[in-house]
Structure 1
Amino acid sequence: MSLDILHVDSWVFAWIILPLLIFLSRIADQSIGTLRLIFLSKGYKFYAPVLGFFEVIIWLVAVSQILKRMDNALYYVAYGAGFAAGNYIGIILEEKLSLGTVIVRLVPNIDSTDLINNLRENNFGLTLIDADGSRGAVKIIFLIIPRKQLKELVKIINTFNPNMFYTVEEVKSVKHGIIRRENSLINKKHFLPQIWRKSK
């Protein structure tokens, strides 16, 4: 009786628990790896080595389990599925964090005086440039904002001019100028160095 129980427990561990652990481990290390690469691309040098440390440790744990049992194809499936899911989850996490700064170019197709006044009232720093469009003279509005404020900006734009043409691009670094800031929980508690670069 006890041998049957041990056999069942061994089967459950080999075919359910361990593949699940490999899958979850691969999700964790690949999510961390994706975030690490994103941090590097955005110039956050402090976070990349820390994330890299945990990424490698988790990866070694997952790989070591596969190398011990190379005859079980389910482990390879769990490893590959975790890799794919980890990439997706890492990207979702980065979107939720909304790190970095973006430049937004607005090209109004109608008079945007009210929009401009509203943006200024909400402390958005903006620059106006006269330009010639395909249908005549236009004003191009430039704004540089933290990426996490982009949804708020788009909501304001849609309120005043839902059909406005605009583009959004990431900015590597910003120095000086008027940039609308909001204190994050991290900054208030001083748990980590400030993510946003200082501007004057």
Structure 2
Amino acid sequence: MKEIILILVLQLIYVPILTLRTIFLVKGKTLFAAFFGMVENLIYVFGLSLVFSGKQSGLAMIVYAVGFGLGILIGGYVESLLAIGYTNLNVKLANYNSELIRKLRELGFGVTVFEGEGRDGKRYQLDILTRRDREKELMGIIEEHEPRAFIISYEPRKFKGGFLLKGMKKGWHKKK
């Protein structure tokens, strides 16, 4: 029974590490990805050897699979806590909201405003780049001031220059 519990624990460690390795690789942080890959494979080989060498191989395989699924949940949760990288919000508004724009800028968010033509007339688009760990805060502020805003969020891979980098040097990136 100790082996079965060990298999579950190994999976609960292995899969979140696999998740982090993948995220670091996608984010271009290859040194971290290589380190997590090494640890991930050590755990993987050890776990598989337990699954195939035990007398309870059928149960061990089921526990291995259940542990993998639970590990995905844990890995996703850990990733959301780390919130590595940046996010870009594209916010569409029916009316120009100077109070929202002022508030966002006061809080250190770089906001670029575009005016366009929609089906029903003028529309305003806010383009906002921020760290991922501030995305929830940003969404809350927008929701508070513009509950009907249309928002698209995506993760940029690379960027250069602009307000965000200047703001980070001044310390505006820190939560207030």
TM-score of the pair, normalised by structure 1: 0.79
Offset from partner CA, 1:135-167 (integer Å, 9 cap, x none): 111111101111111111111112211111111
Q: Aligned letter for 1:62? A: G
| Structure having the higher Rg | 1
SS in 1 for 2:155: strand
SS in 2 for 1:155: helix
Following superposition, the deviation at residue 71 of structure 1 comes to: 5.1
- What is the correspondence of 1:19-38 to structure 2 with a 5 Å cutoff? 19-38=4-23
Q: Aligned letter for 1:101? A: Y
Q: Which residue of 2 aligns with 1:96?
A: 81
Q: Aligned letter for 2:53? A: K
Distance 2:53 2:104 in 1: 60
SS in 2 for 1:46: helix
- Across the aligned residues of Structure 1 and Structure 2, the Cα RMSD in angstroms comes to 1.6
Aligned residue among 13, 35, 49 for 1:64: 49
Unaligned runs of 5+ in 2: none
Q: Aligned letter for 2:101? A: I
Aligned residue among 147, 162, 179 for 2:147: 162
Question: Are 1:130 and 2:115 counterparts?
Answer: yes
Question: Are 1:42 and 2:3 counterparts?
Answer: no
Q: Aligned letter for 1:115? A: L
Q: Which residue of 2 aligns with 1:143?
A: 128
SS in 2 for 1:167: strand
Moved more, 109-118 or 137-146: 109-118
Q: Is the 8 A contact 2:96 2:124 kept in 1?
A: no
Offset from partner CA, 1:85-142 (integer Å, 9 cap, x none): 1122111111111111111011112331111111111121111111111111111110
Change beyond 3 A, Cα 1:102–1:130: same
Aligned residue among 94, 99, 102 for 1:114: 99
Q: Is the 8 A contact 1:22 1:75 kept in 2?
A: yes
Distance 2:56 2:77 in 1: 34
Q: Is the 8 A contact 1:101 1:146 kept in 2?
A: yes
Q: Is the 8 A contact 1:101 1:173 kept in 2?
A: no
How many residue pairs are counted as aligned between the two chains?
A: 169
Following superposition, the deviation at residue 73 of structure 1 comes to: 1.3
Distance 1:70 1:112 in 2: 67
Q: Is the 8 A contact 2:93 2:123 kept in 1?
A: yes
Aligned residue among 82, 85, 88 for 2:67: 82
Unaligned runs of 5+ in 1: 1-15, 185-200
Q: Is the 8 A contact 1:105 1:140 kept in 2?
A: yes
Q: Identity rate of aligned residues, in percent?
A: 28
Q: Aligned letter for 2:75? A: G
